[in-house]
Amino acid sequence: MPQVSLTVNGKPASAEVEARTLLVELLREKLGLTGTHVGCDTSQCGACVVHVDGMAVKSCTMLAVQADGAKVTTIEGLAAADGTLHPMQEMFREHHALQCGFCTPGMVMTAIDLVATHPDGLTEEQIRHGLEGNLCRCTGYHNIVKAIAAAWPLMHGKGMPAAAE
């Protein structure tokens, strides 16, 4: 069986896996990082989104062996060591952008990538389009969109969002 070595949330990790093992399975079952969820098994829901080498990836569509040597960040790796939340996590909390919470880890990881790849700002339409690969069955997305818009200035060093000042 292949040995996969990668950096997960800033720490080296390795595991022996079957060649067909998905990255989400490696994270959850071998490494115990259960914040990454499996929601659909068809790559439709986005609950399994993680960052691989800085890009949002549905970990249910990637083999673990494809991540060999990569830097992977999961929802567990976002908060600072002292417990301070990532700005996106904080805005999701502040704007009540979750209900049951099942989709939230994947939604947050997608949102961080979305904000990072739009340094000149995001419209509501761009945010909604950027979330098309993530399903939430509870919220109706309104507060999720508000949270992402509020996180943009924080993540780009522009201070507090206008609504929060």
pLDDT, tens only, 28-85: 999 999 999 999 878 899 999 999 999 999 999 999 999 999 999 999 999 999 999 9
Q: What is the pLDDT of residues 8-22, one digit of tens each?
A: 999 999 999 999 999
CATH number of 50's domain? 3.10.20.30
Whether 95 and 40 map to the same domain: the answer is no
Indicate whether 38 and 12 sit together in one domain.
Answer: yes
SS3 of 55, please?
strand
CA–CA separation, 129 and 126 (whole Å): 5
Cα pseudo-dihedral 27, 29, 35, 37, rounded to 10: 90
Question: 92 and 72, same structural domain?
Answer: no
According to the model, what pLDDT value does residue 42 have? 86
C-alpha 34/C-alpha 42 separation (Å) is: 19
Inside any domain, residue 104 = yes
pLDDT in tens, 79-131: 999 999 999 999 999 999 999 999 999 999 999 999 999 999 999 999 999 99
**What pTM value is reported for the model?**
0.93
pLDDT for residue 149: 97
What Å distances lie between residue 11 and 17, 59, 94, 148, CA to CA? 19, 18, 29, 28
Among 77, 108, 135, the domain-final residue is 77
Among 49, 77, 105, where does a domain finish?
77
Specify the number of domains making up the chain: 2
Q: Which residue range(s) make up the domain with 122?
A: 87-159
User: Does residue 161 have a pLDDT over 60?
Assistant: no
